[in-house]
Chains A and B, each alone.
Chain A
Amino acid sequence: GAGVSQTPSNKVTEKGKYVELRCDPISGHTALYWYRQSLGQGPEFLIYFQGTGAADDSGLPNDRFFAVRPEGSVSTLKIQRTERGDSAVYLCASRARVDTEAFFGQGTRLTVV
């Protein structure tokens, strides 16, 4: 597709469950970013991939959060033992180079009940 695609668009899960959020970036974009956005807040950086490797994962809040990008394209954000505080919109973005703009997906709204 032409844009960044995120699936699912909405996810409701029970506290303690495991979830996976998927991001399909724009073809050819080597940089991929995950952000978390809570209501009324700005995008909070989680992790940034350059190719297959995580160039910066300093934003991951704890070891329940993990992300992979095994082939340098699609990325999956994995959250173990979900907590109600994990409820937020998870945004994915990609860009071709550091000097270009990032394109965002529509986000996945995660609700932990």
Chain B
Amino acid sequence: AQKVTQAQTEISVVEKEDVTLDCVYETRDTTYYLFWYKQPPSGELVFLIRRNSFDEQNEISGRYSWNFQKSTSSFNFTITASQVVDSAVYFCALSEAGGGGSQGNLIFGKGTKLSVKP
């Protein structure tokens, strides 16, 4: 069965600090996709990044970077030089594609609430 664990419930940092949000997943499939979403106080879930299981190359987009490690089943998200506007709840999600019964399902972790203080 697929499962996503975000052990950090809440994180509070001061502006300009770097912060890493952890995500650990469980799946039996060899083909799967990982996602990060942001949910600001307005409530709408905003897509940030997608990564497939065959691509372990880390990705950087501006102040955001993602570290995917299959060996530890982790897909961590780092914000460099955090800003107040980064304050939100961040969700990691997993979708299996290998036909193992839950193909196509999209499961979320419980989220990490990030507060960036000025």
Contacts and interface: CB of A to CB of B under 8 A. Distances in A.
Contact of A56 (B91, B97, B105, B108): B105
A98 B104 contact: yes
B33 A99 contact: yes
Chain A interface main SS type: strand
Contacts, number: 60
A100 B50 contact: yes
Interface residues of B, number: 25
Interface string B36-62: 010000011101001010000000000
A106 B43 CA distance: 7
A92 to B, nearest CB: 11
Interface of A: 31, 33, 35, 40-43, 45, 48, 50, 55-56, 89, 91, 93, 95, 98-104, 106-107
B68 to A, nearest CB: 15
A42 to B, nearest CB: 4
B102 A45 contact: no
Contacts of A98: 33, 95-97, 103-104
A41 B95 CA distance: 19
Given A91-B45, A107-B43, A102 B109 contact: no
Contacts of A31: 104
Contacts of A48: 104-106
Contacts of A41: 110-111
Contact of A42 (B33, B47, B104, B109): B109
10 contacts: A42-B6, A42-B108, A43-B108, A48-B104, A55-B103, A98-B96, A99-B50, A100-B50, A102-B47, A104-B44
A48 B108 CA distance: 14
